[in-house]
Amino acid sequence: MKLYHGTSAANLASIQKHGLRPRGRAPGNWSQYPSRPDCVYLTTAYAPYFAMSALSGRQRKILIVEVDSDLLDESLFMPDEDFISQAIAANEGRDLAEVHDEVVASLGDYRHHWRDSVAGLGNASYECVVPPEAITRRCVVDLGVRRDLSFVCDPCVSLLNYKFCGERYRSITAWLFGDRPDFLLGIADNESQFAVYEKLQPGYRALAESVFANKEGVCVTA
């Protein structure tokens, strides 16, 4: 399975040498629902969004690395705590913040659900360093050059949103890596989107297709 991790391109040299390391004492991206500091988080869908969230100061280049899960120790995978906590909170009618803290502390008990987490939320965690040899490709995107791509990468990470929009998010990563010629503009196929928006905004198709065809500022390496 191909999984992805998004971060600042400033970390590229370190990742090439040491791999993807858990954040440890470094602050996470989210204060309300913090992630586990001893895990690396991998995704099929949100890597561009997570990479943008990792930028600081005047940084404009994001990095997405592709990881082959078959080259990792499956016993070290765990689900994303958001997948478990959101499911429990919804099923039991409990406060999400309370459930989240409980799940983070006992995430290893749910280890066997890591593939369910990828299927249901697009995310999983890995309780160790992801070594460089498990990283198969790297994609650097210069958002200073490609400001037109910023709008495609701001999802709400929830079970419901992933159910409807997961395919769109996955298509964006696939397009960045050159695995498909376009990405989905909405939850419907692009032809349906064009039919609606072309009536409201003549020239929409041409504009979208020009974005699809433009790989300036996007660099993929093995």
* Three-state SS sequence of 40-87: EEEECCCHHHHHHHHCCCCCCEEEEEEEEHHHCCHHHEEECHHHHHHH
Its pTM stands at 0.93
pLDDT digits (tens, 9 = 90+) for 108-156: 999 999 999 999 999 999 999 999 999 999 999 999 999 888 766 667 8
Please check whether residue 159 is in contact with residue 86, taking contact to mean a CB–CB distance below 8 angstroms.
yes
Fold of 2-136: ADP-ribosylation fold (3.20.170)
Task: List CB contacts of 33: < 8 A, sequence separation 6 or more.
Answer: 81, 82, 85, 96, 97, 100
pLDDT at 68: 98
Q: Please check the confidence at residue 102 and state whether its pLDDT lies above 80.
A: yes
Q: What are phi and psi of 200, to 5 degrees?
A: -85, -30
Kindly list the domain boundaries of the chain, sorted by start residue.
Answer: 2-136
For the chain, what percent of residues have pLDDT higher than 90? 83
Predicted confidence band at 19 (pLDDT cuts at 50, 70, 90)?
very high
Residue-wise pLDDT tens digits, 170-213: 999 999 999 999 999 988 899 999 999 999 999 999 999 999 99
When the pLDDT of each residue in the chain is averaged and rounded to a whole number, the result is: 93
In the chain, the percentage of residues whose pLDDT exceeds 70 is 95
Range from 20-29, 63-72, 97-106 that averages highest in pLDDT = 63-72
